[in-house]
Amino acid sequence: MAEPQDPMQDDQPLLVAEHLGKNYGRLTACRDVSFALYPGEVLAVVGESGSGKSTLLQLLSAQLAPSAGRVSYRMRDGVLRDLARLGEAERRFLFRTDWGYVHQDAAQGLRMAVSAGANVGERLMAVGWNHYGRIRDAASSWLERVEIDTARIDDAPRTYSGGMRQRLQIARNLVTEPRLVFMDEPTGGLDVSVQARLLDLMRNLVSELGLAAIVVTHDLAVARLLSHRVMVMKGGRVIETGLTDQVLDDPREPYTQLLVSSILPA
């Protein structure tokens, strides 16, 4: 049987950042960041606290307007578009269909007072699904995929543990089969054993779905486990970038060497 032809050619970048910068008054939170992300690629952004990781992620996901440079994204029709030129409706549509955003604080990414089923179903309803039974089936199958007992489908995330909340956030984002997921410290604040399980799950989902992801973390173990490529940030600049194993096993920059040898506080 012939494979269906993918309209997206994998040799074309999915997202392109060009000379991105962000100033807060005199403070430069992010400076001259350029890179391309390809479909299915996982990029980790590492660096110490205050190095500009979250700022960069917000710029890339068009939640923050850059002071300089631009971000382009290849839409599902194959056309590369400057995010700053998208209309608000288009941008918001992108955000709840083709993109996912996993927050460190689950309360920012979930509706804590509505049931898990509705949390997962919300994006489907937002794109016009109008059949309760089908929405519920989709929600329930996604809960299974992120290893949440489907008996908890009607419980609010308020009643969930930290690890469950993160997994629910992931299900809520993936239900529309996005091509790109942004994650800001997705394992932050979780117990080590809970972290390990979550990382394992994320790694499997990302490879099964062929997702591209940009993961901000100051935990190099997360970068090693999830990412193909790493960008090291310091003072708002990218000081080193390369394949994850290369950068972590054989860092060139003295700062990265310190980071890798855990001399710098994570």
Partner 1 sequence: MNAPAYNFAYLDEQTKRMIRRAILKAIAIPGYQVPFASREMPMPYGWGTGGVQVTAAILGPQDVLKVIDQGSDDTTNAISIRKFFGKTAGVATTTSTTDATVIQTRHRIPEAPLHAGQVLVYQVPIPEPLRFLEPRETETRRMHALGEYGLMHVKLYEDIARFGHIATSYAYPVKVNARYVMDPSPTPKFDNPKMDNCPALQLFGAGREKRIYAIPPHTDVVSLDFEDHPFTRYRFDAPCALCGAGDSYLDEIVTDDKGSRMFVCSDTDYCESRQLAGHRGSESAPPHKERAHG
Residue ranges that bind partner 1, judged by CB under 8 A: 88-89, 92, 111, 114-115, 117-118, 121-123, 125-127, 130-133, 135-136, 153-154
> CB-wise, 172 or 218, nearer to partner 1?
172
> CB-wise, 23 or 140, nearer to partner 1?
140
User: Restricting to residues 45-84, which ones interact with ligand ATP according to CB under 6 A?
Assistant: 47, 49-55
Query: Residue 88 burial by CB count (10 A; 0-12/13-18/19+): exposed, middle or buried?
Result: exposed
User: Restricting to residues 40-69, which ones interact with Mg ion according to CB under 5 A?
Assistant: 54
- What gap in Å lies between CA 260 and CA 65, rounded to an integer? 32
- What gap in Å lies between CA 166 and CA 115, rounded to an integer? 15
* Shortest CB 266 distance to Mg ion, Å: 12
* Shortest CB 86 distance to Mg ion, Å: 25
If you search the block for the tokens 């009643």, which residue do you land on? 159
Would you call 175 helix, strand, or coil by DSSP? Answer: coil
- What gap in Å lies between CA 233 and CA 230, rounded to an integer? 10
- What gap in Å lies between CA 19 and CA 35, rounded to an integer? 9
- What gap in Å lies between CA 162 and CA 244, rounded to an integer? 28
State the first-to-last Cα distance of the chain, in angstroms, to the nearest integer: 50
Q: Which of ligand ATP, Mg ion, partner 1, none binds 132 (CB below 5-8 Å, type-dependent)?
A: partner 1
- Binding footprint of ligand ATP, residue count (CB under 6 A): 12
Report the half-sphere exposure of 80 (CA within 13 A, side-chain side): 13
- What gap in Å lies between CA 199 and CA 46, rounded to an integer? 16
Q: Which of Mg ion, partner 1, ligand ATP, none binds 65 (CB below 5-8 Å, type-dependent)?
A: none
* Shortest CB 187 distance to ligand ATP, Å: 13
Is-contact 104 186, C-beta < 8 A?
yes
Q: For the window 10-29, what string marks contact with ligand ATP as x by the rule CB under 6 A? A: --------------x--x-x
* Shortest CB 61 distance to partner 1, Å: 17
The residue from 31, 74, 145, 218 that contacts ligand ATP (CB under 6 A) is 218
The residue ranges that bind Mg ion (CB under 5 A) are: 54
Contact positions toward ligand ATP, by CB under 6 A? Answer: 24, 27, 29, 47, 49-55, 218
